[in-house]
């Protein structure tokens, strides 16, 4: 087989890149290791920045998003037993939307299949070759047959544990990483959300977050140890901890209880590799960077990456040379590091660090008070939360 762009991974990054390339008249083939049901049904968080909603809408895959998504025009920061609303739309003119990552994936898969674009699931033994030449190729096994896909360019959209980044020779990439000394214990419950907007709570016992998947499904998180044994957290203990961390000064909690449908522990880490390119291989999304979930930037950064990459590939195939492709890593990384800074700041602002230092707790409360009482502080948070503009190439 031969194509112009070989894409490894059918997550949001790979699928959206293929969609953008198709609209520009550029051929691509997507290779995915998992089955279609697995990819479509794996429940992941989904808070979409305004820019992500705009690109999905503008490229024809936003109809269901607008029917089923939950737009939010603010968030609440809760600390010292009081809630403080940050009016995102009032400060920026933009908003965010709750719409699960798996729903974005379903919409993009449907769009891909509707125009017959090659999308191969359950692909095995994927390897990338000759990356530093003008003729890279991907070898793989599909339906029991060994195959070779010849490409002009390979897009590594295969996630943190994928094969593409690992195929880059040692010494080319520089990795930056921070592993946080805590994790999130999360539940999905059949209960009304605590609020129509997200609540981020800072408490002496640790961080808590109240969010939702729909008007009847609540998603909640509490800060816990990275090595937490989920077996030590029966439902009653989780609900009690959520109530304690979300309660106001009168002891009232906004949390609504219901049957717990899912339960798990999410590690907290930051990770970036530079550059996001080796020869004709370009990394995008989780293959190049991970952010802690506090700032809700993971999928939005993947979308921003592939917008920059699609624009560069379109220029390349229109005979405008390699300039934008050569600038891809530098352009994408400017936004990535700003998102890392915001996620690091939000994480440090809201979590209890080891030792429970009373001085640190008081400083965090003072900073939260400043953010909520200062127009400049609120605006800075709001601008980052709804999404910064794309970096120019």
State the pairing for strand pair 174-189/260-274.
Answer: antiparallel
Q: Strand, coil or helix: what is 77?
A: strand
Sequence-distant (≥ 6) Cβ neighbours of residue 81 within 8 angstroms:
247, 248, 249
State the pairing for strand pair 28-31/119-120.
Answer: parallel
The closest of 388, 392, 390 to 380, measured between CA atoms, is 388
Burial string for 231-259 (b: 16+ CB within 10 Å, else e) reads eebeeeebbebbbbbbbeeeeebbbebbe
> With the C-alpha atoms ordered 286, 287, 292, 295, is the resulting torsion angle positive or negative?
negative
The closest of 102, 14, 108 to 56, measured between CA atoms, is 108
| Catalytic machinery residues | 72, 200, 293, 297, 385
A 10 A CB-CB count for 172 gives 14
d(CA 66, CA 97): 9
């Amino acid at each position: 087989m031969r194509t112009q762009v070989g894409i490894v991974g059918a997550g949001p990054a790979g699928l959206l890149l293929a969609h953008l390339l198709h609209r520009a008249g550029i051929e691509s083939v997507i290779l995915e290791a998992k089955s279609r049901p697995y990819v479509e049904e794996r429940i992941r968080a989904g808070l979409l920045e305004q820019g992500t909603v705009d690109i999905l809408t503008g490229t024809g895959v936003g109809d269901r998003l607008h029917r089923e998504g939950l737009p939010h025009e603010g968030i609440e920061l809760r600390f010292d037993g009081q809630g403080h609303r940050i009016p995102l739309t009032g400060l920026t003119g933009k908003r965010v939307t709750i719409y699960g990552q798996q729903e974005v994936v379903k919409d993009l898969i449907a769009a891909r299949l509707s125009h017959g674009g090659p999308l191969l699931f359950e692909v095995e033994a994927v390897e990338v070759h000759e990356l530093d030449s003008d003729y890279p190729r991907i070898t793989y096994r599909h339906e029991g047959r060994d195959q070779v896909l010849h490409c002009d360019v390979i897009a590594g959209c295969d996630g943190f544990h994928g094969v593409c980044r690992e195929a880059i020779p040692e010494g080319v990439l520089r990795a930056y990483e921070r592993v946080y000394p805590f994790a999130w214990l999360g539940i999905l419950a059949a209960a009304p959300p605590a609020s129509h907007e997200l609540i981020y709570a800072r408490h002496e016992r640790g961080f808590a977050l109240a969010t939702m998947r729909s008007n009847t499904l609540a998603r909640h998180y509490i800060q816990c140890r990275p090595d937490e044994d989920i077996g030590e957290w029966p439902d009653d203990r989780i609900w009690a901890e959520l109530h304690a961390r979300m309660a106001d000064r009168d002891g009232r909690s906004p949390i609504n209880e219901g049957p717990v449908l899912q339960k798990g522990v999410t590690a907290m880490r930051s990770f970036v590799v530079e550059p996001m390119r080796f020869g004709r291989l370009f990394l995008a999304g989780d293959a190049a960077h991970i952010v802690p979930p506090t700032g809700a930037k993971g999928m939005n950064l993947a979308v921003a990456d592939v917008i920059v990459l699609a624009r560069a590939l379109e220029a390349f195939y229109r005979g405008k040379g390699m300039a934008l492709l050569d600038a891809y890593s530098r352009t994408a990384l400017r936004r990535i590091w700003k998102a890392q800074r915001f996620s690091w700041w939000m994480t440090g602002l809201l979590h209890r660090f080891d030792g429970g230092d009373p001085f640190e707790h008081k400083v965090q409360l003072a900073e939260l008070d400043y953010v909520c009482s200062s127009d400049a502080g609120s605006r800075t948070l709001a601008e980052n939360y709804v999404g910064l503009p794309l970096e120019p190439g």
